[in-house]
Amino acid sequence: MQPDATQHNIAWFKDQHAADKLNLSPDFQRNHVWLEDEASYLVDTILHELPFPEIYIRNIVDEDGGSKFEVVDGQQRIRTILGFAAGDFPLQGDDVSPKFLGKTFKQLTPEQRTKYWAYKIVVRELGSANDAEIRDLFRRLNKHAVTLNDQELRHAHFKGKFIKLMENIADDEWWSENKIVTTRQIRRMEDIEFVSELFIGVVSGPQNKKDTIDDYYEQYEKDFPEKEEHTKLFRDTKALIEDVLPHEELRRWSGKSDFYSLFLAFSHFAAETITGSRKKRLLEALSGFRDDVDRTKKKDAKPSKSDHVNDYVEAVTRAASDIDRRRTRIRIVSGLIRRAVKG
């Protein structure tokens, strides 16, 4: 079986359905019914001329030359698309654009309705594959499917000023050059999520895990009045770290929990000018602290003589993203910086 990729517009599906040549309920399909909010979001996607995942259809040809099509994956999407055009539901839900909210198909403009019918859906045609081959295909598709993570879902939902700023900041090779993010994390947008955590932490203090990211994206979706002020603080913090720590030293802090602690601690001193002997003292203090932490974290290692090191190791190795442990680590690193630069 070699599925052929093609495209059919919505009008094609309407015509096949009207001619009773489209089976939307094959035996092997799930009988999942979408909520109207889910259905509305799909229609909103089409009205914005954005893509959605491909569907799979099988062409059944009988001995008399009659031809029918079975939707073997995507039947709920096709039901939704045709149902909206038939007036089955108005668009509703938080994900629907305000200009379409509450509208039925008939309430769209003639141009919008025409574009709707002309919208092309990516289709994989399975020829005359038998049921066993179809079920095997489903197993393989599901096995290799990758569920969208939180940040990929945010990328699909939010389009405003805050998320665009986070994506702009993350689009800097500095993060990967210093091993703070990996290629795999960049591919899954986890670099943007981590930058968001850092940014929120700098402007509002440490947060519990990633619980507040959605709140900030929502709050600053349309307007971001403190953008310049907050961005300056973030960039000044990053610049200070770059100035104090050479690449090889910074990479020792590249673990997410360690770097989060370092970045938020440095943000308290972003307005400082640290040069000369103070800069040297700070680098030596951070390097020595890092040596002690790395040594203490090793299996079967004895506790450090420094309570600060032991407390840091405890806070970075267990439930490291909990807010109390984040606060502990930031307090310890901030104290180290303060003692080095204040003398």
List, for residues 167-224, the tens digit of each pLDDT value: 999 999 999 999 999 988 998 899 999 999 999 999 999 998 777 899 999 999 889 9
**Triad 266, 267, 268: Cα angle to 5°:** 90
Mean pLDDT across 108-123: 96
Bridge-based pairing of strands 67-73 and 22-23 is parallel
Name 48's bridge partners. none
Instruction: Tell me: do 249 and 289 sit in the same domain.
Output: yes
Instruction: Tell me: do 96 and 72 sit in the same domain.
Output: yes
Instruction: Tell me: do 52 and 138 sit in the same domain.
Output: yes
Instruction: Tell me: do 129 and 42 sit in the same domain.
Output: yes
Instruction: Tell me: do 23 and 143 sit in the same domain.
Output: yes
Number of domains in the chain: 2
Instruction: Tell me: do 61 and 85 sit in the same domain.
Output: yes
Instruction: Tell me: do 190 and 338 sit in the same domain.
Output: yes
Mean pLDDT of the chain: 90
pLDDT for residue 216: 94
pTM of the model: 0.63
CA distance 247 to 80: 53
- Among 22, 20, 10, 12, residue whose Cα is nearest residue 52: 10
CA distance 43 to 91: 8
Domain boundary among 120, 147, 174: 147
pLDDT for residue 145: 60
31 pLDDT above the threshold of 50? no
Instruction: Tell me: do 157 and 64 sit in the same domain.
Output: no
CA distances from 238 to 133, 168, 231, 250 (A): 54, 14, 11, 11
CA distance 133 to 72: 11
CA distance 153 to 155: 5
List, for residues 134-149, the tens digit of each pLDDT value: 777 777 766 666 667 8
H or E element in which residue 208 lies: none
Q: Find out whether 326 and 204 touch, Cβ atoms under 8 Å.
A: no
Residue 193 class from Cβ within 10 Å (0-12 exposed, 13-18 middle, 19+ buried)? Answer: buried
Instruction: Tell me: do 91 and 172 sit in the same domain.
Output: no
- Among 328, 237, 339, residue whose Cα is nearest residue 284: 339
Mean pLDDT across 76-86: 95
pLDDT for residue 313: 96
List, for residues 271-321, the tens digit of each pLDDT value: 988 989 999 999 999 999 999 999 999 988 999 999 999 999 999 988 888
Domain containing 182 equals 152-342
Instruction: Tell me: do 179 and 34 sit in the same domain.
Output: no
CA distance 330 to 265: 5
- Among 266, 295, 142, 110, residue whose Cα is nearest residue 201: 266
Q: Find out whether 72 and 26 touch, Cβ atoms under 8 Å.
A: yes
Domain boundary among 117, 147, 177: 147
Instruction: Tell me: do 328 and 187 sit in the same domain.
Output: yes
Side-chain-facing half-sphere of 193: CA atoms under 13 Å: 20
Instruction: Tell me: do 125 and 180 sit in the same domain.
Output: no
For the ranges 123-127, 203-207, 260-264, 331-335, the lowest mean pLDDT is seen at: 123-127
Domain boundary among 147, 179, 202: 147
CA distance 91 to 39: 8
